[in-house]
Amino acid sequence: MTILRLAFVALAAAFLATTAATVSAQTIQVNKENRTIAITATDKVLVLADVATLHIGFIAYGPDSDSAYAAGSRASNAIVKALTSAGIPNDSIGSENQNVSPVQEYQIDKLTPAEKAQRKFQVTQSWTVRTNANDAAKVLDLAVKAGANQSGQIDWSLKDENAPQSEAAAKALQRARVVAEEMAKGLNAKLGTLLYASNETQAEPPRPLMRAGVAGMAMDQKVAPLAINPRQIEKTATVYAVFAIE
């Protein structure tokens, strides 16, 4: 939505028009020798994400701490080996969390006594894997089939955050100019030069993130990867612009 503010003075008295970006402390002097129109305009661009950060992990169980740790070690190394063997650089794989702990009774209260005996301890571990957005499904598939049974969350981002932000600001400034021209016409005046402009980046709304669990430590290698498409990322900018009118 475009917010309009008009400062037009025909009298000799002068006053200050404070900009929307108050942190700059810059003011525009408004008087009959310097007649102005001030506009605040917002616009946005949508850009397809080109970077995916996957959250992958596993949970392994054992009848005692040593057995659980051994199972976790096998799963951990199998997952990382599958990723690096597929050409994913080590510096794109970051450890996120790892833990060895007893299993709480409420977690296994519905299991049979035999199953409970095999799940006295658990090992969990997770990583983040940064890759090209178009490879997200393939990387997730590799990890899950290697034993990453607690995986699925993907954070989408851009390699270049500045370009779309600049584009949004340019669109907002153009919108401000168009509106200012219409207002100038209503005053039987002509829009003059741009005297001042500021850009305020808008905070992006929080997006729900989902972590999916895949049951079992072994997956059928013939199963196709999940259908995953990169998400569009919205960049918004608000511009405060002051134009002279003639």
Mean pLDDT by 10 residues, the chain (246 residues): 34 30 45 80 96 98 97 98 97 97 95 96 98 97 97 96 95 96 93 91 49 48 89 95 93
Residue 220: the pLDDT is 63
Sign of CA dihedral 126, 130, 133, 137: negative
How far, in Å, CA of 234 to CA of 92, rounded?
25
Tokens of 186: 């209503």
* Kind plus residue range of the DSSP H or E element containing 179: helix 162-186
This prediction has a pTM of: 0.74
Secondary-structure class of domain 51-157 per CATH: alpha beta
The pLDDT assigned to 9 comes to 30
**Ranges in the chain annotated CATH 3.30.70.2970:** 51-157
- Residue 121: what pLDDT? 98
| Confidence (pLDDT) at 212 | 44
- pLDDT at position 75: 97
Q: How far is CA 201 from CA 22, 75, 133, in A?
A: 14, 44, 25
